[in-house]
Amino acid sequence: MANKKGDRYECDECGLVILVENPCTCESCEIVCCGEPMNSISEKTENQNKQ
Ligand SMILES: [Zn+2]
């Protein structure tokens, strides 16, 4: 799962959120925080959380 610019990732453990400024070309890219791969935050999920 490659990331792309604007993607955001959240850590379930500590709540860290990061924003991808420059995408990578990795076939499988895992951004790890607290020893766990971070979860990508989709815009759909964000919209559901707004209200
Ligand atoms: Zn963390």
Separation of CA 5 and ligand 1 centre (Å): 21
Q: Which residues of 2-25 are buried (b: 16+ CB within 10 A; e: fewer)?
A: ebeeebbbbbeeeeeeeebeeeee
pLDDT at 51: 54
More confident residue, 10 or 1: 10
Q: Residue 47: what pLDDT?
A: 56
Predicted pLDDT of residue 28: 81
Question: What token pair was written down for 2?
Answer: 């490659």
Rounded-to-integer distance, Cα 8 and Cα 19, Å: 4
pTM of the model: 0.70
Contact indicator for 23, 5 with CB cutoff of 8 Å: yes
For position 26, what pLDDT does the model report?
84
Cα 38 to middle of ligand 1, angstroms: 8
Query: How much is the pLDDT for 29?
Result: 81
pLDDT tens per residue, range 15-44: 999 999 998 888 888 899 999 999 998 765
With contact defined as beta carbons under 8 Å apart, do 2 and 39 qualify?
Answer: no
Q: How close is the Cα of 36 to the center of ligand 1, in Å?
A: 8
If you measure from the C-alpha of residue 17 to the centroid of ligand 1, how many angstroms do you get, rounded to a whole number?
9
In the chain, domain spans: 1-36
